[in-house]
Every structure is written in C-alpha cells, then in structure tokens.
C-alpha cells in the first residue's frame, strides 16, 4: 500500500539558546525541526523534500506557533514534555525507532544497545543508530538522550556541545558529560 505523501504548509526560523532552528509543519504537525548549522543540514532538507511536497504559505501555522512557545518553555525548564503534534516523515522502521525515542523520559539517557533491546532487536544497534541520525525533529523526538554503551556522548548531528547542553539542561546538573 502506497504511503500518503505529506504536504509541508509552513516554515519558520526559531531562535534558541543553542542557535537558530528551522521548523517545517504540515497540516498534521511539526515534520522538521533542526539546527540550521547541524551536520548535513542540506542533505536532511533534501531528504525531506523527496518524501514530502512543499506548499508553504505565509499565514501563521498553529503547530509552529505552539512549537515556539513550547521550545521557549523547554529551554526555561518550564516543561518536560511537548504537546505539539508531530508528523514523522520517514521509513516505517525509522518511525518505529523515533516512536521508541519518545519513550525515553526527560532527564534520562539510554545507550544505543538499550534502545535496540527495548525494540526487540538487540543485534540491530547500527540500524537503530542510523535511524536516530535520520531523525528530522530534534529535541521533540529526543535522540539527544541516546549515548554510547560506555556512557559517553556520541552521535549527535547537531554537535556534541548541543547534546551536552540539552542533557545538562534536562538533568539539572552542569557538565554531566565531559
């Protein structure tokens, strides 16, 4: 059965303490949220364009407006969970991985191996890590909460300094990882 193609209807730039983020939304919800200086940013946007149709209008989008408020509150430690609707654009496997990421509680971390085990595919660590890297909705789908098996920071396309900042913010401790 062919998958219905998502239509991107709005975009905006959002200023955060970690720099500008670019957001795209469909009628269903946020489908893209990334730091504009992330590793392979252009590739992420191109991949999104292969899986979605763009019909961006100038009017305000309720999903992006709510996202702006919630991101601001998140960075102020005012919320621990996002309520803004999301529209995951990816393969079925990627969506399963991203859905599992949503189960990692605020302030907690898991290893890639723990994530793969939680999905019932303990030998699929690399596939899970690759899907995490393809996550198009940073912070909301918290791939930053996944760390190396040896408890080290690893693998964040936004950069390890941003990952460290987010984990420190959520844990309430400074310099959780060196």
* pLDDT tens track for 110-169: 999 999 999 999 999 999 999 999 999 999 999 999 999 888 888 787 889 999 999 999
Same domain assignment for residues 13 and 67:
yes
Full residue range of the structural domain in which residue 147 is found: 92-171
143 is catalytic: yes
Asked, for residue 53, whether it belongs to a domain, the answer is yes
The residue from 41, 76, 111 where one domain ends is: 76
Q: Is residue 133, in this structure, part of any structural domain at all?
A: yes
Question: Whole-model pTM?
Answer: 0.88
Query: Which listed residue (48, 143, 146, 167) is catalytic?
Result: 143
Q: What are phi and psi of 24, to 5 degrees?
A: -125, 145
């Amino acid at each position: 059965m062919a998958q219905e193609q998502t239509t991107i209807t709005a975009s905006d730039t959002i200023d955060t303490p970690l720099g500008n983020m670019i957001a795209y939304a469909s009628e269903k919800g946020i489908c893209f949220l990334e730091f504009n200086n992330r590793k392979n940013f252009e590739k992420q946007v191109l991949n999104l364009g292969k899986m979605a149709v763009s019909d961006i209008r100038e009017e305000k989008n309720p999903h992006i407006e709510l996202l702006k408020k919630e991101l601001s509150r998140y960075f102020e430690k005012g919320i621990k969970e996002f309520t803004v609707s999301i529209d995951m654009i990816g393969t079925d496997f990627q969506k399963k991985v991203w859905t599992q990421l949503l189960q990692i509680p605020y302030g907690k971390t898991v290893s890639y191996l723990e994530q793969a085990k939680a999905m019932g595919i303990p030998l699929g660590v690399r596939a899970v890590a690759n899907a995490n890297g393809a996550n198009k909705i940073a912070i909301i789908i918290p791939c930053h909460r996944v760390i190396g098996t040896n408890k080290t920071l690893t693998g964040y396309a936004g950069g390890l300094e941003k990952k460290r900042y987010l984990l420190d913010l959520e844990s309430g401790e400074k310099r959780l990882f060196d």
